[in-house]
Amino acid sequence: MAHRTANGSGQTPRRTDSLSRDLIIQTATEILDGGGENALTLRALTVRLKTGYGAIYHHVADKSDLLAAATDDVITGVLSRTATTGSPREILRLLTLGLFDAIDAHPWVGAELSRQPWRPALLDFYESIGRLLDALAVPERVRFDAAGTLVNYVLGVAVQNAANARHLTGRDTDRGAFLDTTAAKWAQLDPDRYPFVHATVTQLRDHDDREQFLAGIDIFLTGIAALRST
């Protein structure tokens, strides 16, 4: 069976350019963006980087470390790009919307955040939220709850996005067709048992995820405003 020491001659040549943690993370991001969450396998990485397992594991602890690093990359990018001028309310909308857009563009980030919240990157996000709530005159006593609530909401939307994206990748149908199918399913439900769902079929078909997300943010902001006077 020519154990391992049948080396003799033909080892495949080593790479000349050097590997690096950053290169690995960047390549992983490309794979994730291209093929969804479960397209990222160590095997796929070795193929794409034309290397072996050892080389990768030399720069990266394990797969979850890799995923976490890629996720941190995306989030810090969002935070650094978000404008800091305007009213607190505007900044808060821009900040959360920036996160929404980023997760919309990279759905795997949403899935990863659901697995490992409270990454350092999210702590920065949390900090920003807290400060903005301070600027919005939310009393210190309730600021903790309010910030947590907002983060949880954003995270919930992120997870939804990730789930939808996962459901679509590999399918031949696009988002519109999927919504049509779901709307049709909802329309067939018993109107006596599901009056509300039945009534919202139209809005389901032509709603905009982004606008609905913002509507939620606005509801939250309105709710927050009431805390000032308590």
Residues forming the site for its own copies (CB under 8 A): 111, 114-118, 123, 126-127, 129-131, 134, 140, 142-149, 151-157, 159-160, 162-163, 166, 182, 193-197, 199-200, 203-204, 207, 212, 215-216, 218-224, 226-227
Q: Tokens 């919309």 map to which residue?
A: 104
Helix locations, the chain, DSSP H: 21-35, 42-49, 53-59, 63-81, 88-105, 107-115, 120-135, 140-168, 175-187, 195-199, 201-205, 209-225
3-state secondary structure of 170: coil
3-state secondary structure of 228: helix
For the CB of residue 3, give the shortest distance to DNA in the complex, in Å: 5
Q: Which is nearer to its own copies, 62 or 127 (CB)?
A: 127
User: For residues 58 and 115, which CB has a smaller minimum distance to its own copies in the complex?
Assistant: 115
**Residue 123 interacts with, from its own copies, DNA, none (CB under 5-8 Å by kind):** its own copies
In angstroms, the CA 184 to CA 62 distance is 44
- Asked if 114 contacts 158 with a C-beta cutoff of 8 angstroms, the reply is yes
Coil, strand or helix: which one is 5? coil
DSSP label at 174? -
Contact partner at residue 5 from DNA, its own copies, none, CB < 5 to 8 Å by partner kind: DNA
Q: In angstroms, what is the minimal distance from the CB of 23 to its own copies? A: 29
Q: How far is the CB of 90 from DNA (least distance, A)?
A: 41
166 binding DNA? (CB under 7 A): no
| Torsion 206-82-135-148 (CA) sign | positive
Cβ-based nearer residue to DNA, 60 or 132 = 60
* Window 44 to 73, contacts with DNA (CB under 7 A): 44, 49-55, 57-59, 62-64
Interface ranges with DNA (CB under 7 A): 1, 3-5, 7, 11-16, 18-19, 40-44, 49-55, 57-59, 62-64
